Amino acid sequence: MDDIIPDLVRDTNLSSPTLDKVPVTILSGYLGAGKTTLLNYILTYAHNKKIAVLLNDFGEGSAVESSIAWSEKDGNLFEEWIELRNGCLCCSLKDASVRAIENLMKRKGKFDYILIETSGLADPGDLPNYPGPVASLFWLDEDLCSQICLDGIVTVLDSKYCLPHLMKSTGDEMSEYERFLNIFDTYFCSRQVLLADVLIVNKTDLISDSEKSEVVQRIRDINNSARLIETNYCNLRLLICYEKNL
C-alpha cells in the first residue's frame, strides 16, 4: 500500500482570529535537503490558492524556470517575479523587510499564503538584510501587522547527510580552523532544527530503518516539540499552514 501523503493545509472553514491575515512561513534547510523540490510542488500543485514564494534567487535547473515571464526591472525591492498558472507568484528576494513585503502586497494584491525561503546556511531566526529575530519583522509596522502573521518555521532535512552536520567532531587532532568550521556547521544546522515548528525529514528511502531511528532520535534530542514528517522527494501536498497565531 502506498504511503498516505500528509495533507498539510488546515480546514480554513474553522473559526480563527488569524483567518483574515496572510500567514507567513519561513522555509529553512541546507543546500540539497529538498527545499527546491518542496517549492516546486507548491508552485505547480493545483491547490487553487494564491501563494507568494519569496526566494533568495531563482535556482538553476528549477522546474519553474520554464514558466518565467520577466517583469520590467524598475528598481523596486522585488525586481523579478513569475506568475504561474495555478495562481502562485514566485519572487526573487532582494530585501526581506517590512517595506519589501508591504510593497509586494500593494502591487500584487492579497495572498492566501506567503512562503519565505532562506539560504542553506541561514539562521531561520534571521533573514537577509534583517539582523533581528524573524518574529520582530512582523511587529514593526502597525498597518502591515493587521494584514500578515508569522505562521511558523519549516526546516527540511536530508536524512542521509544531516546527522554528520549535527554531530561534527571537534577533537584535539584537528587544527583550530577545522574545529571552528565544524562548530560553525553544527551550530547552524542545530539552530535550523531547534527553531522549527515543522521538521521535514526527507530522502528517508536512502537510509535503513536503524539509521532513520538514529536520525530521528538526534533531531528529537534538539527539538522534541515540533511536528516531524518523514517523506521521500518532499512529496507533500501543500504548504504547511496551521494558524499558530504567533
Helices (H), ranges, the chain: 35-44, 98-108, 142-145, 162-166, 176-194, 209-222
pTM of the model: 0.71
| pLDDT tens digit sequence for 140-180 | 455 555 577 778 889 999 999 998 888 766 666 777 767 66
Distance CA 54, CA 26 (A): 10
Domain presence at residue 74: yes
Tell me how many domains the chain contains. Answer: 1
H or E, element range at 63:
none
| Residue 46, domain CATH | 3.40.50.300
Domain presence at residue 11: no
Task: Tell me which residue range forms the domain holding 44.
Answer: 22-230
Distance CA 89, CA 190 (A): 31
Domain presence at residue 7: no
Q: What is the average per-residue pLDDT within 35-54?
A: 78
How much of the chain is helix, strand and coil, in % rounded to 5? 30, 20, 50
pLDDT of residue 25 exceeding 70: yes
Q: What is the average per-residue pLDDT within 70-85?
A: 43
C-alpha cell at 186: 553544527
Distance CA 182, CA 165 (A): 8
| C-alpha atoms less than 13 angstroms from C-alpha of 244 in its C-beta half-sphere | 18
| pLDDT tens digit sequence for 174-219 | 777 676 677 767 887 888 899 899 999 999 999 999 999 999 999 9
The pLDDT assigned to 17 comes to 47
Distance CA 61, CA 190 (A): 28
Q: Which residue is it, cell 501536498?
A: 237
Label the pairing between strands 113-117 and 51-55. parallel
The pLDDT assigned to 124 comes to 57
Domain presence at residue 157: yes
Domain presence at residue 16: no
